[in-house]
A and B are shown apart, each in its own frame.
Chain A
């Protein structure tokens, strides 16, 4: 019998469920289903699980939206699950307004729709090069050969790093996101910080027009440089936020397209109509929300009739909010022409994902280029069923496709 931790006494037993979102049972082929299984089983809309250090789960769109907007109760500061210290205070996402606004303002101009549109040629070039590397073969491991390389290459470019460092960055990000060994994790974290340290020192000496240079050259309201730790932790956030999320969203998108000839046709029909293409991408963003976001309760309080204690952790599963039938018509259906699509895949409120426009453009361009070179494809029946994972970002370590 496995160890089953106790719940704190202030939580009524009817609000307690045994739920571990890191654990994907052997019969589940898609980690998203562990969340939707909760809804199907009639789990309370706000419930507590003693797993992973103990935390709350919100299941209603309206409660999740409110938590995103109310940083006075639901803070992003030190919100890790399970509680984890020391952990870098990510800038700006690990702090709440008004402190949050300082680094947010530094980054914002580099991630506006306007700025992202200017990155189109670079993204297009990268996608074209990667796809042409395997299009002539009859198949590939999509995650390893495309979905991991594409955003990591983009990160290198945005940070003013040479393409030759791709293998090194793929290695450190793979370890960061997938390793469960505490010693390997600790060494990996040190390595990432060493890389960022060297990068920002170099950009301080020889600034360019990249994001790292902009961050390191920024000054506070009095004209002074920002604390070095904040600069490094801002780099760390961009590393953490932009790689795994895009990789796994791509894996979900291609996994769906590989099994849906109609959807492939719809996207191919829209190849020359970017706004129609983008609208359909938006629906894939809704249905394939890979992130489960953490918050920490700032003080003892009541929210929606439930008693919370200071430092309680909360998980906001975007995939559940995005399929709430009180907000979305036929929420489990993928409708590439969906008219009203207020999904929360990129969060809401002041911490709304600053990279959302880049993420969407990366997915749009990587898909356009793929469909131009590989218009038809399907799942490889040899796919390893063990390649799924849950946790804060859900996805697949491998996705074999063939054509």
Chain B
């Protein structure tokens, strides 16, 4: 599974980074999401799902498989 960010929607709330720093960080210019590990390991699935559900802008989503 992989996680995808819609950068047009991300406003830099950084909730994802707070909830799952293994997968998400933020950049130094605008503070928007940087996905460090788009294809995250299964043991992080629950944390990634919480990050996705807690994005106030709905900018994140999980896609099945490794394709887009």
B56 touches A112 (CB 8 A): no
Chain A residues within 8 Å of B55, by CB = 342
B68 interface residue (CB < 8 Å to A):
no
CB contact under 8 A between A343 and B56, given known A278-B18, A350-B11, A357-B14: yes
Give Cα A1 to B30, complex, Å: 53
Give Cα A340 to B19, complex, Å: 11
* Majority secondary structure, A binding face: helix
Q: Inter-chain contact count A-B, CB under 8 Å?
A: 59
Q: How far is the CB of B47 from chain A (nearest CB, A)?
A: 11
A341 interface residue (CB < 8 Å to B):
yes
Chain A residues within 8 Å of B15, by CB = 282
B13 interface residue (CB < 8 Å to A):
yes
A348 touches B11 (CB 8 A): yes
Chain A residues within 8 Å of B57, by CB = 348-349
Q: Mark B3-28, 1 if CB is under 8 A from A, else 0.
A: 00000000111110111010000111
Give Cα A349 to B57, complex, Å: 7
Q: How far is the CB of B45 from chain A (nearest CB, A)?
A: 15
A257 interface residue (CB < 8 Å to B):
no
Give Cα A109 to B30, complex, Å: 6
Chain A residues within 8 Å of B14, by CB = 113, 357
CB contact under 8 A between A108 and B31, given known A275-B18, A340-B53, A342-B56: yes
Chain B residues within 8 Å of A350, by CB = 11
Chain B residues within 8 Å of A311, by CB = none
A279 interface residue (CB < 8 Å to B):
yes
Give Cα A341 to B11, complex, Å: 16
Q: Mark A259-286, 1 if CB is under 8 A from B, else 0.
A: 0000000000000000100110010000
Nearest-CB residue, chain B, relative to A357: B14
B44 interface residue (CB < 8 Å to A):
no
CB contact under 8 A between A342 and B54, given known A113-B17, A113-B26, A114-B31: yes
A115 touches B18 (CB 8 A): no
B54 touches A357 (CB 8 A): no
Q: How far is the CB of B23 from chain A (nearest CB, A)?
A: 14
B18 touches A352 (CB 8 A): no
A: number of interface residues (CB 8 Å): 25
Nearest-CB residue, chain A, relative to B26: A113
Q: How far is the CB of A105 from chain B (nearest CB, A)?
A: 7
A109 touches B11 (CB 8 A): no
B12 touches A112 (CB 8 A): yes
Q: How far is the CB of B55 from chain A (nearest CB, A)?
A: 8
Q: Mark A308-329, 1 if CB is under 8 A from B, else 0.
A: 0000000000000000000000
B50 interface residue (CB < 8 Å to A):
yes
Give Cα A342 to B30, complex, Å: 21
A349 touches B29 (CB 8 A): no
Q: Mark B50-67, 1 if CB is under 8 A from A, else 0.
A: 100111110000000000
Partner pick for B26 among A112, A279, A282, A343, CB 8 A cutoff: A112
Q: How far is the CB of A98 from chain B (nearest CB, A)?
A: 14
Chain A residues within 8 Å of B11, by CB = 348-350, 352
A35 interface residue (CB < 8 Å to B):
no
Partner pick for A105 among B21, B30, B54, CB 8 A cutoff: B30
Give Cα A349 to B56, complex, Å: 9
B13 touches A112 (CB 8 A): no
Q: Mark A322-357, 1 if CB is under 8 A from B, else 0.
A: 000000000000000001111110101110100011
Q: How far is the CB of A72 from chain B (nearest CB, A)?
A: 16
Give Cα A111 to B14, complex, Å: 12
Sample of 11 further A-B pairs with CB below 8 A, known A113-B14, A342-B54:
A105-B30, A108-B29, A111-B31, A113-B31, A114-B31, A340-B53, A342-B53, A343-B56, A348-B56, A350-B11, A357-B14
Nearest 5 interchain pairs by C-beta? A112-B31, A352-B11, A113-B14, A108-B30, A342-B56
